[in-house]
Structures are given as structure tokens and as C-alpha cells.
Amino acid sequence: MEGVGSRDSRSFHSLFSLSEIVEMENIINEMGEKALHQEFCDELATRLSSSAIRAGRAALTWQQVQSWFQDKHKELQAETVSSPVALKLFVDLSDANISRNASESSQKPEGNDATDLSELAFEAKSFKDDAWYDVASFLTFRVLCTGELEARVRFAGFGKEEDEWVNVRKGIRERSIPLEPSECHRINTGDLVLCFQERLNQAVYCDAHIMEIQRKPHDASSCTCDFIVRYDHDFSQEEVELSRLCCRPRQEESPQLSEENQYETALSISARSLWE
């Protein structure tokens, strides 16, 4: 599964000028979570778009402003500690069995700047569009003041400007599995699936649930069954073919990593500190 379409238009580095970033940093420092409200973001986007400094450039949307504030707010919430310390703090919250694995993980040799985990087959959810993308690498970790663990993710097929902090519990999981035409029997009503959704400006993979299945006789080379899905993010329904579906690993009981698995996932990744 790979995200289709470019998110380059959302790159904060190209969206905002230096003076706009400075102003927005002052705003988030003063207002905190209030700066995340849609009405405020809409007013700020309109004001910034009408300024002389943006002459000849595309107008900003409230979603772009809100996304910047969300990223910055997470940075301000996080404890700026090195990855080994962050992992140790998080491991201390787990059971003794996981804690015993911490020393072994911390002794792993330092690797490249971006530890390649493609062979471990993870996918992560982008907060920008509620879509899932293959993980190219986990760059580092941090622990929020709430005690939650986040990973800095680089998405497969995207550059560093699209890196995101992703909640390990809610937004990182094993990669979904594409199906062959002969495997349609693996999909059942009520199942969580990853479904290819075509949107106005891009096509992405999103979580959906199977609402109805119209099974039809077919050979192993081509599936003619129809699947009615309901997308989790907007509750819209659509009839799709098997080729647009990926199933979740059967051993996973929920769409997110279990509590124990998230500790093991974190500990299996190099504790190389790469704060940017």
C-alpha cells in the first residue's frame, strides 16, 4: 500500500514565509490550544492571504494554518529529551518483561540517520488527510507530557518535508495486506479494511468497514464480487471491487497496535537520537 498523489502542496516550508512563521509561533505561544480553533484559523488565513507579502502567491486555507498550529502545538507539548531517554521513560511504564528488553535494545549499534524499517512492514496514519501510508523509516521518538509515545515517521515516497509525529498507539500498525482475486473469501461483513478512496485532488488509502458483500462465482484470475464499504473518517459508503481493498492481519484484534506491541515496536527500533 502506498499513498497516491502528492502532498507537496501541504509542505509548510513552501507554504509560509519566514515572517509568517515567526508571527504564528508567537500566536501559538500566547494562545495555546485556542489557536487550533477553525474560526480563528480561518480569520488568520484570510488576513495572511491579503497581506502584501503574499502578492502573487496562492491564498492560504484555514486547514493549512490549522495543520501548522497542530504540529507546533505537539512540539510544545513534548518533552525535549533524547530518544534513549524517551524510550526508557516509556518502558518504565510497561511491565517487567518489556523492561528487561530495554538494555538489549539500547546497546544496538548506531545506524544511518533514518533507521530503515521497510522490512518490518509498518504503515502510519497522517493527521493531515486521515490516510494511511507505508513507513519508510522511524527517525526518533518522544514522550509527551501525557505519557504517550510518538514516533517521527518518514513516509515511503515522500521527502523529509512531509515527516510527521505520529502517536504510536493510535497511528502506527502492521502494514495492510493486498489480496489476490482467489482470496476474496478472507473479507467478511464487519471487517476493518484499508480501502483505496478516490478524492477530488488525490487518491489515498483509508480505514473502512465492510457493510455488505455480493459474492459472485468467478475463477482464480479475476474477482467479480462487489463490496459495500463505509469509510471511518466521513461515514460515506461506496461499492468497490476487491482490487481496492487490503485486509488487516488476522492476528491483530484492533486497528491500532496493542499496548504490549507498541512497547515492543519501540524497543525494536534503534534508539538513535535524531532531533531536528
**Strand, coil or helix: 145:** coil
Domain extent listing, the chain:
8-77, 83-175+255-268, 177-247
How confident is the model over 212-222, as pLDDT tens digits? 999 999 998 89
Overall CATH class of domain 177-247: mainly beta
Q: Is the pTM of this model over 0.85?
A: no
How confident is the model over 217-270, as pLDDT tens digits? 999 889 999 999 999 999 999 999 999 999 998 634 444 444 445 444 454 443
Overall CATH class of domain 83-175+255-268: mainly beta
Which three three-digit cell numbers place residue 2? 502506498
CB atoms within 10 A of CB 95: 11
Q: How far apart are CA 155 and CA 129, in angstroms?
A: 13
Tell which residue, 21, 24, 19, has the closest CA to residue 43.
24
Tell which residue, 116, 131, 229, 114, has the closest CA to residue 176.
131
Q: How far apart are CA 39 and CA 30, in angstroms?
A: 17
Q: How far apart are CA 22 and CA 17, in angstroms?
A: 9
Q: Which of 82-86, 95-99, 110-114 has the lowest mean pLDDT?
A: 95-99
User: Is residue 106's pLDDT more than 60?
Assistant: no
Mean pLDDT of the region 99-106 = 37
Residue that the C-alpha cell 519501540 belongs to: 266
Tell which residue, 275, 269, 265, has the closest CA to residue 105.
269
How confident is the model at residue 81, as a pLDDT? Answer: 39
Where is pLDDT greater, at 164 or 56?
Answer: 164
